[in-house]
Structure 1
């Protein structure tokens, strides 16, 4: 049972399903006690009488022992009556309200149920962290937002993607249009403004001074952050749905097209750092490019050996370059830190390149090779030496000077094994790079971590799946890494189908935060850095306390579900988390 006084730190990560099962068993055992206050009082009287009898019996036994040993008490261990000061408070389930609806009673019984329901009824964006650039609270002059607060502009809105910097906010609305806000866009604008329209964008990447957007058709658009630069730059000609008719774009932007693309090939995924971006195609080919206006990448993050401003190929400086050293590897996952890149192929192999001054590439730092400009294969098997497990990387993430890997390790038969658990999969999470802010998540404050280190709170976890009647590993659904802090969403069993059932409640997925917190970007309400994954409080504290009083619960994020919105539309949506530079957003995504 969670303590009343504070939000618990993550240790063994009990899942919502396990907690619900325990609560259900306790509820069945104490059905009459918990549902009848009069009977509960009577039960308490019986308890007090029993305690008095036990105490009296203990006294008689003590006196008897005294006389049986010639007036001397033996110096041996004996059972003491438990101290009442050390006993946890007995918490009873709140009685159901008379005349209340089933939904009101389920809100009262389960904080998770209330959170899931409100995420559907009130979609929008919550943000916290640094507000120096008017990003997390565009209409406020506060320097910091200490706990997640709704951005009013997005109330009732669904988004396809969102990216945050300390001075820039960028998002894609439900129609695929780009919205921008923050002082780097315009100091006069106090709310998000539509800039690039009609491109059907699906995802974003941002650099120091440019935004890149990927459309559903695979086209990549690059535009300056500043509204002034958008107005003053070269504006391309755009075609119209009317034959033989074209017009000029109202803002300046570029179209990025990798060379030698086959007829059916298109860009499927983009990722960006401070000065570079990666483009992954539907054929598993990887391209890199310069993504900033004022700097050409010089720290190997493009992954092209020897490439510099002086010897770049003829053409625009921002043209994409294929990473020919990765030909033959079907790349499936990509991620960018500030000045490094990490990618994984469909076979679970990982390659990294770029700046390695903090060990973020997964190799020990070497003063003679602080920059690695060719994709290097990480020796993952060394992480499982002597364990009789075969590792396969399932996802990668990066941010700032850190990299993260999720791994499925399968138990195999070996000479020294006893034959048990053969084929069992264990899900682990590793981190490398800078750890001075706690972003390694391993309870340590480490300056440089070259060899990936396991995050204990997110590794080797299992739960019981009642639907399939089996024990399954708990994986991560996603990791979002900012420049100094991280959020991870657990892929634990969730339940969002209790609408037409009696007595059941919704529950979502566990989400934890750790790392740098000097700008309150973790959403804990405090400013101390955190070096181990921890929970935060529910997003909507007003609704929570209105129903459940001062009890404190952890935030659970809502997985993808098909729901009906207030306007009558039926949509598939989920809550997502995005860690940016010194700030965080949790939004309703489609």
Structure 2
């Protein structure tokens, strides 16, 4: 009503203004100044009235809220409780954050979540999704060595080097609602984990690689080693003491040299890569699909003969040769096995989901003599970065995820092939790959660009399936063979007071989820030694709130993320007064820790990691 009145007044006011202007021309200057002052005051008064009646809609058929005129629209910063915001700001506490899909309880137990997070604080009551970064209370004052998330199960390594597992895929229906982490592999001093659908791979500080089942029921050790229908299973996992857990050590098929050990492992969907301290690259078939796209880097390997276990004799091995999918066999619906007199012609009777199916790591023949400094594994791809900053890739390439360019249309690359990272750059610019990261059907390359005439810069390049915006270049492209620059994080410079010159702002950590979202830590305060923190940038697929912005729309460009206190989320480093293990006991005091990001299947987390 008032708004309509304001609109009716406007033409009358316009006519009054015109009449006053015409009259002002015919009066003396002194009177004109006085009239001008009066008109100005009247204009301010009327204008204020019109602004008031038009700035807010007031309906005469509803009750006006008591806080009308003072209410502010809800923002992501106001969705969390004041108690949680204050807890996050506590400098003496260690808090971890989780957000995204929690349908399989890989982030937190439903019971714990329901008691700590209300619907307005970010938890969807029906789907159990966490819309915004939320404090995981079960990790309060806990620092980990590593943490990994899979689709239905998760695992971590606590400060003592013990492995804990949880999630619906681990406990299943055994313990209803029991998502509390359970210790499984203990006393092995584990430093790194990698997860696949049915198996958990663990790397120890001494360089040994272990594998254990992802399902708790498959971990139990029978009394005797003969499998029977009525085998008695150990209950160590159920009691939480980590005893009677069945695991397998993976031994290298080729001998390692003196003081050589494994220092890194990376897993895809069906294969595992391992790197030694001498720069040698090994691979391991997780299951029968391990070489469908040539991602192993070799065809022949040995598996355990199940016949030996049945008769109770010493375990024998079978030689297997798996041929990758090729252009000549585009369907490749079955496992292709080369018929040979000394090789198994049928693998249908071999269970590849057990930890004993293959017990060795095999050196990749094409990389012998190549000094490899880093390995990376996508869902069906493999990468090796050399000491000189060059990258080799092989495996699935139907989305261009290896980065071989638009002219390479092969969907299967069986031989390690160099990725050209200096396309579309000046001839006098030197390019060196600092890091390679892969996940699902996406790959990233952190590349340093340098020449003698301009400051050194750092580009983050991405290729592969960007249908959900994972390429970060403001496009939604399902296939990208040429690595493209990610916007907002590539080519950035900052002035250094120490060197008195411009220096590049470098992505220090790139994490790509198997489902298509990306998290990047951008070090914009390198000289502060972690005091200022590192910006956390997110983009890509966002169907389950995995980007933590409270929405379900994907992002094609990097964006910042809000912490529980409403401020921009920064990854920090500090000295923790004390660090607890997952049993709640104090491990050590004055420990150097840093926040680390991890991406799962439609979810994300930030936890405190022990460094140094």
Note whether the superposition's TM-score is higher than 0.5.
Answer: yes
Report the counterpart of residue 183 of structure 1 in structure 2.
Answer: 168
CA spacing shift, 1:171–1:234, aligned 2, 3 Å: farther
8 Å contact kept, 2:446–2:460: yes
Deviation at 1:233, TM superposition (A): 6.8
Partner of 1:160: 145
Q: Once structures 1 and 2 are overlaid, which stretch shifts more, 466-475 or 514-523?
A: 466-475
Aligned to 1:564: 577
SS in 2 for 1:382: coil
Over the residues paired in the alignment, what is the CA RMSD in angstroms?
3.0
- Alpha-carbon contact 2:290-2:296 (below 8 Å) kept: no
Structure 2 residue 378 is the aligned partner of structure 1 residue 337: yes
Q: Which residue of 2 aligns with 1:393?
A: 433
CA distance in 2, matches of 1:213, 1:440: 31
Q: 1:485 corresponds to which residue?
A: 517
2:246 is aligned with 1:228: no
**1:525 has 2:550 as partner:** yes
Match of 1:553 among 567, 576, 581: 567
The answer for the alignment partner of 1:581 in structure 2 is 601
In 1, distance between residues paired with 2:497 and 2:88? Answer: 23
CA–CA distance in 2 between the matches of 1:406 and 1:497? 21
- Following superposition, the deviation at residue 290 of structure 1 comes to 1.2
Rounded to whole Å, the distance in 2 between the matches of 1:249 and 1:300 is: 38
Change (3 A) 1:453 1:318: farther
The residue aligned with 1:537 is: 562
SS at match of 2:568: coil
Q: 1:510 to 1:235 in 2, by over 3 A?
A: farther
Report the counterpart of residue 99 of structure 2 in structure 1.
128
What's the counterpart of residue 420 of structure 2?
379
Q: Quick one: structure 1 residues 492 and 381, their matched pair in 2 at CA, closer, same or farther if it must change by over 3 Å?
A: same
Q: Which runs of 4+ in 1 moved over 4 A?
A: 114-117, 232-236, 311-316, 364-368, 494-498
Identify the residue that residue 81 of structure 2 maps to in structure 1: none
Q: Check conservation: 1:166, 1:583, Cα contact below 8 A.
A: no
Residues 153-207 of structure 1, C-alpha deviation per residue, up to 9 Å, x if partnerless? 2111110000011311110000000011100001322211111101100011111
Partner of 1:18: none
Correspondence list, 1:46-445, <5 A: 118=89, 120-139=91-110, 140=113, 142-187=127-172, 188=175, 189-231=178-220, 250-258=244-252, 259-292=254-287, 295-304=289-298, 308=322, 310=337, 317-364=358-405, 369-384=410-425, 386=426, 388-412=428-452, 420-421=453-454, 424-445=455-476
Q: How many residues were matched structurally?
A: 441
What SS class does the counterpart of residue 458 from structure 1 fall into?
coil
In the other structure, the counterpart of 2:3 is none
Deviation at 1:131, TM superposition (A): 1.0
Counterpart position of 1:469 = 500
CA distance in 2 between partners of 1:192 and 1:120 (Å): 26
Secondary structure of 1:334 counterpart: strand
Is the CA contact (8 Å cut-off) linking 1:405 and 1:429 kept in structure 2? yes
Q: Is the 2:153–2:168 Cα contact (8 Å) retained in structure 1? A: yes
Instruction: Give per-residue Cα distances to partners, 1:326-372, cap 9 Å, x unaligned.
Output: 12221111111111112211100001111111110002478973111
TM-superposed CA distance for 1:115, in Å, is 9.8
Contact 1:231 1:252 in 2 (8 A): yes
In structure 2, relative to structure 1, the CA distance for the partners of 1:166 and 1:459 (3 Å cut) is same
How far 1:119 moved relative to its partner?
A: 7.0
CA positional deviation for 1:434: 0.2
Shift of 1:470: 2.6
Confirm or deny: 8 A CA contact 2:487 2:558 kept in the other structure. no
Which of 476, 481, 488 is equivalent to 1:450?
Answer: 481
Q: Which structure has the bigger radius of gyration?
A: 2
Q: Judging changes above 3 Å, is the alpha-carbon distance between structure 1 residues 489 and 180 closer, same or farther for their aligned structure 2 residues?
A: same
Q: What's the CA shift string for 1:404-460, capped at 9, x where partnerless?
A: 000111114xxxxxxx33xx3111110000000111011000010011111121111
In 2, the alpha carbon distance for the partners of 1:270 and 1:119 equals 35
Instruction: Give, in angstroms, the shift of residue 471 of structure 1.
Output: 1.8
Does the 8 Å contact 2:195/2:201 carry over to 1?
Answer: yes
**Structure 1 574/313 Cα, relative in aligned 2: closer, same or farther at 3 Å?**
farther
Is the partner of 1:369 in helix, strand or coil? Answer: coil
Contact 1:235/1:252 (CA < 8 Å) preserved in 2? no
Partner of 2:94, secondary structure, is coil
Q: Match of 1:185, SS? A: helix
Task: Report 1 or 2 for greater relative contact order, CA contacts < 8 Å, sequence distance ≥ 6.
Answer: 1
CA distance in 2, matches of 1:365, 1:443: 19
8 A Cα contact 1:137 1:145, kept in partner: no
* Segment of structure 1 superposing worse, 208-217 or 184-193: 184-193
Classify 1:334/1:235 alpha carbon distance in 2 versus 1 (closer, same or farther; 3 Å).
farther
Partners in 2 of 1:347 and 1:213 — Cα distance?
A: 29
Q: CA deviation at 1:281?
A: 0.3
SS of the residue corresponding to residue 257 of structure 1 reads strand
For 2:160 and 2:445, locate their aligned partners in 1 and report how far apart those are by CA, in whole Å. 33
Q: Aligned partners of 1:475, 1:497: CA distance in 2, in Å?
A: 14
Q: Distance in 1 between matches of 2:404 and 2:271?
A: 21
Distance in 1 between residues matched to 2:274 and 2:283, nearest whole Å: 6
Instruction: Report deviation, 1:387.
Output: 5.0
Q: Is the 8 A contact 1:129 1:521 kept in 2?
A: yes
Shift in alpha-carbon separation, 1:115–1:303, aligned structure 2, 3 A: farther
Contact persistence 1:116–1:557 (CA under 8 A): no
Of 254-263 and 561-570, the range deviating more from structure 2: 561-570
Query: C-alpha separation between the residues in 2 aligned to 1:497 and 1:453?
Result: 30
**1:563 Cα deviation from its structure 2 partner:** 4.0
Preserved contact between residue 305 and residue 374 of structure 1 (Cα < 8 Å): no
Query: Any unmatched runs of 5+ in structure 1?
Result: 1-62, 64-83, 86-113, 237-247, 413-419, 499-505, 545-551
